[in-house]
Amino acid sequence: MNKILFFFCNLIAVIGIFILLITNILNEVFPIMGRVAFQAAMAGSYSPSDYTVNFTVINLFAFLLILIGVVTGYKIYKK
């Protein structure tokens, strides 16, 4: 039973890492997509800050997943 719990704790930590990876990629890609859309529409003015998304809550959730997964996995490993 402990092996299964240890696996799922590590899986939770890996999911948190993937969430952080995806949000960082999106923060890099959205301003580029905004520039392309602006150039295609040729309307208004372009500002990269208009296309920056606030992922604070999602990143906090990802950090909590990583922390919970690592701490619980360590406790199960020590048993």
pTM for the predicted model, two decimal places? 0.82
Question: Residues 67, 20: contact at Cβ < 8 Å?
Answer: no
Band of pLDDT at residue 74, cut at 50, 70 and 90: very high
Neighbours of 31 (CB within 10 A): 17
The alpha carbon of residue 76 and the mean position of all alpha carbons in its chain are separated, in whole angstroms, by 26
Q: List pLDDT tens digits, range 43-58.
A: 667 777 778 889 999 9
Give residue-wise pLDDT tens across range 12-46.
999 999 999 999 999 999 888 888 877 777 766 77
- Are the beta carbons of 71 and 44 closer than 8 angstroms? no
Q: Any idea which residue has 């392309």 for tokens?
A: 36
